[in-house]
């Protein structure tokens, strides 16, 4: 039977994984928290090393948002441990989040992380999962392009605000070219609400209204 990768809005699959911080059950280990699972092609590679340093330098900010990090590649746990030690000793950065050792490829196969044209290495994927264990966003990058960590942090902030305030987040928020750091009101669903929109909010038209947080 062909395995289909999970989609946005679906539950993150229940899996038990071996990590640099012991065995964990996902998503249960992070119940009540947001978490980011990201895969990298291989340990001891330059782009992946820059990504790990980038993630770690934003880890405290993410934890302040109630969000955890967990990495993954098909390397063995011994390789992960040695690489994390190398980053600590040579780049003065202590990697504090766990890294999944998926040496059998079981987790990568389940999440669709193996690119058929790139051998057995995992792609650069990101799964953002909410406190209920629901996948809220998925990003895939080619092996040759490192990720933008600030965008991933922005996504966590934007999703949390959208959930809390029942609003939509504009492009390039909080520096949108039209409405700066304001957020978008959901479209009116009836004529009366549409007529009142201009009295309640700032609007370009009844279907495009916005407000400050």
pLDDT digits (tens, 9 = 90+) for 158-203: 999 999 999 999 999 999 999 999 999 999 999 999 999 999 999 9
pTM, rounded to two decimals: 0.93
pLDDT digits (tens, 9 = 90+) for 4-27: 689 999 999 999 999 999 999 999
Query: Where is pLDDT greater, at 1 or 33?
Result: 33
Six-digit token string for 107: 């987790």
Which of 89, 94, 84, 100 lies closest to 21, judged by CA?
100
Instruction: Domains for the chain: give ranges and CATH numbers.
Output: 15-147 (3.40.30.10), 166-213 (3.30.1020.10)
48 tagged catalytic = yes
Contact 57, 93 (CB under 8 A): yes
Residue 211, Cβ density class (10 Å: 0-12 exposed, 13-18 middle, ≥19 buried): middle
The reported pLDDT for the residue numbered 3 is 57
Averaged pLDDT for residues 72-82: 95
pLDDT digits (tens, 9 = 90+) for 112-142: 887 666 666 788 999 999 999 999 999 999 8
């Amino acid at each position: 039977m062909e395995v289909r990768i999970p989609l946005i809005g679906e539950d993150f699959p229940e899996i038990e994984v071996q990590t640099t911080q012991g065995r964990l059950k996902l998503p249960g280990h992070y119940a009540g928290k947001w978490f980011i699972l990201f895969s990298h092609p291989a340990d001891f590679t330059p782009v992946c090393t820059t990504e790990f340093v980038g993630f770690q330098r934003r880890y405290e900010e993410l934890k302040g948002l109630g969000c955890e990090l967990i990495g993954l590649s098909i390397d063995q746990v011994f390789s992960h441990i040695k690489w994390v030690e190398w980053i600590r000793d040579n780049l003065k950065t202590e990697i504090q989040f766990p890294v999944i050792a998926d040496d059998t490829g079981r987790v990568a196969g389940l999440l669709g992380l193996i690119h058929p044209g790139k051998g057995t290495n995992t792609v650069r994927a990101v799964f953002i999962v909410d406190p209920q264990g629901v996948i809220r966003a998925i990003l895939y990058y080619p092996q040759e392009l490192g990720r933008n960590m600030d965008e991933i942090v922005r996504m966590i902030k934007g999703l949390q605000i959208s959930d809390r305030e029942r609003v939509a987040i504009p492009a390039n928020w909080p520096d949108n070219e039209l409405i700066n750091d304001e957020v978008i009101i959901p479209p009116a669903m009836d004529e009366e609400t549409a007529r009142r929109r201009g009295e309640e909010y700032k609007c370009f038209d009844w279907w495009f209204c916005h407000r400050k947080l």
